Every structure is written in C-alpha cells, then in structure tokens.
C-alpha cells in the first residue's frame, strides 16, 4: 500500500483545495457500528429506517425514543480515532479546507476539525419543534432519563427531537449547498469511510469530477466511483490516513 499512500500524499500537496467526505466507516474504529449494516449489534432486531422516522417521532415519540435512546447510549463516551485526528491535523497544517460528513456523532469536531459540514445533522443538540428552544446533548440525556415514558421533553412540555436528519426528513438545505460548493471547488475530494451509495451525498464525487477535480477513496469494500479514483485505498481507514499524514508531516 505504501505506493498508494505516497500518491495520495503527493495529490494532497499538489491538487489544490482538498476537501474530505466521510461516512460511517470513519467512526467504526471508535466503536460506533454502521447502523445501515444489517444484523449489527443493537440494530439486529429493528429496522432503523422504520423506527428512526419523522412520522414515528410525531405519532409515537415514546417508541421513537425507546429506539433512539439506545443510539444515544451507544454514542456515549466515544472518542475520536486516528482517522478523525489525521483529518484534523491536515486542516491544522493548512492542507485540508473542510470535512463534509454523513456522521452525526460529533467526533470530527471532538478531534479538533473546525470546518465541519454535518449534512445529516448532529446529536450535539435537540430541539423543540413547537417553541424552537434548543438543548445540549447533556441536557437532552438528562431529560431522557428523567422524562415520563422515556421521552425527553422541552420546558414547554413537548417532546424533543434530536437535531439529526431523520428518515423521511429533507437534508439541511444550507449544509447541502455548502457541501456542493466545496465539492465543486475541490482539486481533490478525499472520500473516507463511505460506501458513496447514500444520496444526495453520493452525488458529490460527480460534482468534483465534472468540475475537473480528482477524487481519492479510502474505504473498505467497493464503491460506485472506484474506476474514477486517482488513488484507491481499501485497508483500515485509520491506518491509511495516518500513513498519509506521516508522509506530509514535517
Ligand atoms: Zn418547547
């Protein structure tokens, strides 16, 4: 792999603006399962696309939170790993402009990344859709534990909704248009830990390619863009990004 690591390091040096696009695979080494993978852990007996749906939250918030509370629990105490740290360090060195992520776990920010576009939102806050009040993750957790029926409630009494994009909801338009602009301006779109199959994020590599930029892919398993990648890494994402960082660091 070291020749591919060399090539990716050289591209990061020379390709112009570099933007990262990350998916669930980047958080797997932190112990966070990719919940779209069937039969993994706590998602084994439930279809998240059915339960983590905006219609369930509206109709039956107790059922929604019985499920989503487990997700909060699964994310509690999780720390960024070498992949998050490598991207944060590349930004600190001035080699990376931004991270666009599908992840809601907040680990890019925890690793020190500053320009993070969370196209699926984040569990960092939860909101009341009735009065607009917003609560921190710690406050939401406390309300989840104390709330009758397992439902975290706003001071106004209405159920809270995590500020993540649920199934059945549209992606945040401002975040998505910012992501598209970054992809269009990128000399290199570094795709890490994403199967590049979930739209509309999966359309971003095409945006970069059509604007004349290049893409690199560091993820296990096939993606629809493998034939178009200037560099293709398919080892452990943490080791791959750390190996590339080591070639760029003074
Ligand atoms: Zn409220």
Range of the domain at 236: 1-32+80-120+165-250
- 195 and 106 within one domain: yes
Helices within 76-171 (DSSP H only): 82-92, 107-111, 137-146
The pLDDT confidence band at residue 212, using thresholds 50, 70 and 90, is: very high
Cα dist from 23 to 32, 72, 250, whole Å: 12, 18, 28
- 169 and 159 within one domain: no
Span from the CA of 105 to the centroid of ligand 1 (angstroms) = 24
CA distance 115 to 118: 10
**CATH code at position 144:** 3.30.1600.10
Span from the CA of 143 to the centroid of ligand 1 (angstroms) = 13
Span from the CA of 128 to the centroid of ligand 1 (angstroms) = 5
Span from the CA of 169 to the centroid of ligand 1 (angstroms) = 20
- Output the pLDDT for position 37: 57
For the chain, what is the domain count?
Answer: 2
- 135 and 116 within one domain: no
Q: What's the whole-model pTM score?
A: 0.92
- Asked whether the predicted pLDDT for residue 38 surpasses 80, the reply is no
- 62 and 23 within one domain: no
**CATH code at position 97:** 3.40.50.1220
- 171 and 70 within one domain: no
Span from the CA of 78 to the centroid of ligand 1 (angstroms) = 29
Catalytic residue list: 120
Query: Which residue bears the tokens 């569990």?
Result: 123
pLDDT, tens digit (0-9, with 9 covering 90-100), for 39-48:
555 555 677 7
- 173 and 59 within one domain: no
- 155 and 94 within one domain: no
pLDDT, tens digit (0-9, with 9 covering 90-100), for 165-181:
999 998 889 999 999 99
Q: Each residue of 70-82: b (16+ CB within 10 Å) or e?
A: ebbebbeeeebbb
């Amino acid at each position: 792999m070291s020749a591919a690591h060399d090539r990716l390091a050289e591209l990061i040096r020379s390709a112009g603006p570099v933007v990262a696009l990350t998916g669930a695979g980047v958080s797997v080494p932190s112990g966070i399962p990719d919940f779209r993978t069937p039969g993994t852990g706590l998602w084994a007996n439930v279809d998240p696309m059915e339960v983590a749906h905006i219609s369930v939250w509206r109709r039956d918030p107790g059922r929604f939170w019985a499920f989503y509370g487990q997700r909060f629990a699964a994310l509690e105490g999780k720390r960024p790993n070498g992949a998050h740290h490598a991207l944060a360090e590349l930004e600190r060195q001035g080699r990376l402009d931004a991270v666009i992520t599908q992840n809601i776990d907040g680990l890019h920010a925890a690793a020190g990344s500053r320009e993070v576009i969370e196209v699926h939102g984040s569990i960092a806050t939860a909101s009341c859709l009735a009065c607009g009040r917003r609560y921190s993750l710690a406050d939401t957790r406390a309300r989840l534990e104390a709330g009758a029926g397992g439902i975290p409630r706003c001071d106004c009494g209405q159920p809270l909704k995590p500020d993540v994009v649920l199934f059945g909801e549209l992606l945040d338009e401002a975040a998505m248009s910012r992501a598209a602009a970054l992809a269009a301006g990128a000399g290199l779109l570094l795709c890490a830990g994403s199967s590049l199959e979930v739209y509309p994020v999966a359309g971003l590599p095409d945006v970069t390619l059509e604007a004349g930029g290049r893409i690199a892919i560091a993820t296990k398993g096939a993606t629809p863009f493998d034939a178009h990648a200037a560099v293709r890494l398919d080892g452990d994402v943490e080791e791959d990004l750390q190996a590339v960082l080591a070639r760029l660091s003074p």
